[in-house]
Amino acid sequence: MKHIFKILSGCLMAFALFASNALADGTNLSAAQAWSALTNFSLPTPPMDWQTNPPTEEQLAKFDDEQADQASALADRERDFYTRFPDDPNAPRTRTTEIQALQMAVHFGATNRLGDLNLRESAVIADTNAPVELRYELRIDQLGREQQASSASGEDKRAEMEKVGRALVKEFPNGPMGYELLLNVTAGSDLLKMHELAELMANSGGPPELTGFGKSLLNQLDVIGKPLPIEFTMADGSQINSTTLSNKVVLVDFWAAWCPICVQAMPGLKQLYDQYHTNGLEIVGINFDDDTNQAQQFIKEQDMPWPQYFGGFGPDNKFDREYGEALPYVWLVDKKGIVRDIHGRVDLEAKIAKLMAE
């Protein structure tokens, strides 16, 4: 399957690229002729009979080598075009397709072209006149290769993820990828590291929808060691507050039915509720679904008997304004009503048992 995926990926990339005839010298062609040669060339595709007769490992390896060679030659022809005809209106396009060809060559195993690829990508990334979207995508590609290489050599994957996230947030504060990576890092970090990364995201200079990830995390960190700041009235008039939750260990689950991780975690929460509720565990759900009916239907299907707050997703939800942005997350509150942990998804049952024993 791995090789079939590579074959399909190669075909898709081949159709997206403009290429030059790798076997033609082309040095005597005019700009128009050279461009015509580029636009009329395509990279080789897998034999049709491979669809019914799977190729051998040797055939696949040979095909990969051929793709790498052709893509490498394609990159050279693209570079030849913009070098010989720098003022041609198609020259900027060939700079981009050269990088695409080099990416494909490296993908198929031409590691000898990795240096060229890094140089070309770095040149575009550093060019402030280039489209920011292109620079951003190339930097993600570049950092992704570096992360893979480091992980393959035994480097700590979480540390490498943090390194990439920091670089992207610093260099491209308007792009979401860096924030997403740093949020993943915080999920398994200690409080000091969480605070450090939250400050970085909150003060990145990016748009509010991205800096909000850091600000909401800082707000969550601020509740640790303080009374639970959650209280509301349920539809039936029941009150959820420090009084009604006193002398109980409370798990506060911030969730939504549209959040896959939230949904996956729900059977585990139900199991913990069934196991510990009679001994003093309470779960309080803070729901972020705009469609309350859909959320209630999900609650019914999953048999979730604990109290729920329905506030939707956005500024109208008072808890979203303070603590939202990135779901899911779980808080743990001790019997005195003090928030003890905002990392509740990690080692959850052990933490609950410890709080229950206090």
CA 237 distance to own-chain centroid: 41
Kindly report the backbone phi and psi dihedral angles of residue 146, in degrees, each rounded to the nearest multiple of 5, phi listed first: -65, -40
CB atoms within 10 A of CB 128: 7
* Predicted confidence (pLDDT) at residue 15 exceeds the cutoff of 60: no
Predicted pLDDT at 21: 38
Tens of pLDDT, residue by residue over 205-264, are 999 989 999 998 999 899 999 999 988 888 788 899 989 999 999 999 999 999 898 999
DSSP state of 252: E
In a domain, 77, yes or no: yes
Report the pLDDT value the prediction gives residue 94, as an integer from 0 to 100: 93
272 vs 355: CA distance, rounded Å: 13
Mean residue pLDDT of the chain comes to 86
pLDDT at 329: 85
Lowest mean pLDDT among 5-14, 70-79, 242-251, 315-324: 5-14
pLDDT exceeding 90 applies to what percent of the chain? 61
294 and 219 in a common domain: no
Residues 56, 109: one domain? yes
Q: Are residues 99 and 7 in the same domain?
A: yes
Shared domain check, 85 and 25: yes
Q: Are residues 183 and 110 in the same domain?
A: no
140 lies in a domain? no
Question: Which of residues 197 and 17 earns the better pLDDT score?
Answer: 197
More confident residue, 28 or 233: 233
Say which amino acid occupies 287: N
Nearest-CA neighbor of 117 among 93, 86, 147, 95? Answer: 95
Confidence band (pLDDT; 50, 70, 90) for 16? very low
Range with the lowest mean pLDDT among 86-95, 135-144, 175-184, 285-294? 285-294
Number of domains in the chain: 3
- Looking at the domain assignment, is residue 175 inside a domain? yes
Q: Which are the contacts of 83, defined by CB distance < 8 A and separation ≥ 6? A: none
71 occurs within a structural domain: yes
Domain assignment of residue 118, yes or no: yes
Domain that holds residue 91: 2-130
Strands 239-240 and 249-255: unpaired
Last residue of a domain, one of 130, 164, 186: 130
Q: Which of 223, 249, 271 is the last residue of a domain?
A: 223
Question: Within this chain, do residues 295 and 185 fall inside the same structural domain, yes or no?
Answer: no
Same domain, 208 and 256: no
pLDDT at 315: 64
Alpha-carbon Rg for the chain in angstroms: 27
Q: Cβ atoms within 10 A of the Cβ of 109, count?
A: 15
Share of the chain above pLDDT 70, in %: 90
Q: Tokens at residue 286, please? A: 């803070």
Residue-level pLDDT at 298: 92
Give yes or no: residues 261 and 284 share one domain. yes
**Residue 52 belongs to some domain of the structure:** yes
- Residue 175 and residue 93 in one domain: no
Residue among 145, 197, 142 at smallest CA distance from 170: 197
Residue 216 lies in a domain: yes
Q: Which of 130, 162, 181 is the last residue of a domain?
A: 130
- 242 and 292 fall within a common domain: yes
Distance CA 162, CA 175 (A): 16
Do 156 and 261 lie in one domain? The reply is no
Looking at the structure, tell me whether residues 114 and 169 fall in a common domain: no
User: Could you read off the pLDDT of 296-345 as tens digits, one per residue?
Assistant: 999 999 999 999 998 777 666 777 767 766 778 899 999 999 999 988 77
| Global pTM value | 0.77
Q: 336: domain CATH number?
A: 3.40.30.10
C-alpha 75/C-alpha 87 separation (Å) is: 19
2 has a pLDDT exceeding 50: no
